Amino acid sequence: MRLDVITIFPDYLAPLRLSLIGRAVQDGLVDLRVHDLRMWTTDRHRTVDDTPYGGGPGMLMRPEPWGAAFDDVLGPGDAGTADPPARVVVPTPGGRPFTQAMAAELATEPWLVFACARYEGLDQRVLDEAAGRASLDEVSLGDYVVNGGEVAVLVIVEAVARLFPGVIGNAGSLVEESHADGLLEGPGWTKPSMWRGHAVPDVLLSGDHARIARWRRDQALRRTAARRPDLVARLEPDRLDRQDRSLLAELGWVVDPGGTLSRLADAPPPVAD
């Protein structure tokens, strides 16, 4: 998988050369190329921003350096080149929310190009130009504002690259983790079995694998109901077993006539978890 990042702060992406992703880069599984947008400026001050037409606070990124960057990074992008089609990702608080499903989809792509905006964002024509020569996704981390796209690229690349075959040693951990099946993962314990008066739940020491699996699923359901009722409402009832349904019913969730889970108005208040 090839990853290009265009930014005015290339040093910000240094963490991608550490840990698991760093190993994948070292091993050649991920071809990471970080570019300084100012390479494509032509004026003495290497200007990348300017005031918005129509007035208003802050600065926007001028289109010319981005156009030159796309020309060099994306290339002509026609059938005459051997390159696979690139997908351009622009992190922005105005984008579609980034999810595990989006991470899984991006992990199937051979080539992602990230364009990091700073200031109040990009001139709209940069986005129009990108959309005209590649498929474009504007992606948001969530409902809050950070100062630039770089931190979002760190998040997105961490989420995407770890799904890439060979990046994570233990593929089983991908199946059981939070969000893999629409539920939050429950709590976990390791040794020692007693620590400062806190015991590990007996069931986990029982050696009864079926009972442990059931208990863990109950924990995941309880936690998801307490912390993320929006996720419970999106579960597909057909994929729930009898015990799932009975536990959810205890927590006030029933399958309504429309076939979706909803919480009874008179259900007891969710318990903190």
Q: Quick check: 7 binds ligand 6GU (CB under 6 A)?
A: no
141 lies in the binding site for ligand 6GU (CB under 6 A): yes
* Polymer length in residues for the chain: 273
The residue range among 142-150, 218-226, 246-254, 263-271 that interacts with ligand 6GU, by the rule CB under 6 A, is 142-150
Considering the complex, what minimum distance in angstroms separates the CB of residue 74 from ligand 6GU? 21
Return the residues of window 51-80 that contact ligand 6GU according to CB under 6 A. Answer: none
92 Cβ neighbours under 8 A, 6+ residues apart: 117, 121, 122, 138, 139, 140, 149
Check residue 216 and report its DSSP letter.
Answer: H
The residue within the footprint of ligand 6GU, chosen from 7, 41, 92, 224 (CB under 6 A), is 92
Residue 12 main-chain phi, psi, to 5 deg: -60, -25
Assess whether the previous peptide bond of 93 is cis (omega < 30° from 0).
Answer: no
Minimum CB separation from ligand 6GU for residue 223, in Å?
25
Query: Counting contacts by CB under 6 A, is residue 270 touching ligand 6GU?
Result: no
Residue 152 binds ligand 6GU (CB under 6 A): yes
- Least distance in angstroms from the C-beta of 157 to ligand 6GU: 13
Measured between alpha carbons, how far is 126 from 128 in angstroms, rounded to an integer?
5
Check residue 127 for interaction with ligand 6GU (CB under 6 A). no
Q: Any contact of residue 149 with ligand 6GU (CB under 6 A)?
A: yes
When asked if residue 5 is in the footprint of ligand 6GU (CB under 6 A), the reply is no
Structure tokens of 154? 């760190």
**Nearest-CB residue for ligand 6GU:** 91
Question: Residue 99 or 246: which CB sits closer to ligand 6GU?
Answer: 99
Q: Taking CB under 6 A as the rule, does residue 186 contact ligand 6GU?
A: no
Torsion of CA 227, 252, 271, 100, to 10 degrees: -10
| Rounded least distance, CB 230 to ligand 6GU, Å | 18
3-class SS of residue 133: helix
State yes or no: residue 91 binds ligand 6GU (CB under 6 A).
Answer: yes
Shortest gap between Cβ of 9 and ligand 6GU (angstroms)?
A: 13
CA pair distance 229, 188, nearest whole angstrom: 21
Give the DSSP H or E segment for 172: helix 172-176
Is 47 among the residues that bind ligand 6GU (CB under 6 A)? no
Size of the site for ligand 6GU (CB under 6 A): 13
Q: Give the other-Cβ count within 10 Å of 248's Cβ.
A: 22
Q: Is 163 helix (H, G, I), strand (E, B) or coil?
A: coil
| Phi-psi domain of 35 (left: phi exceeds 0; alpha: psi -120 through 50; beta: other) | beta
Which residues are paired to 61 by β-bridges? 49, 122
146 part of the interface to ligand 6GU, by CB under 6 A: yes
- Residues found near ligand 6GU in the complex (CB under 6 A): 91-93, 139-142, 144-146, 148-149, 152
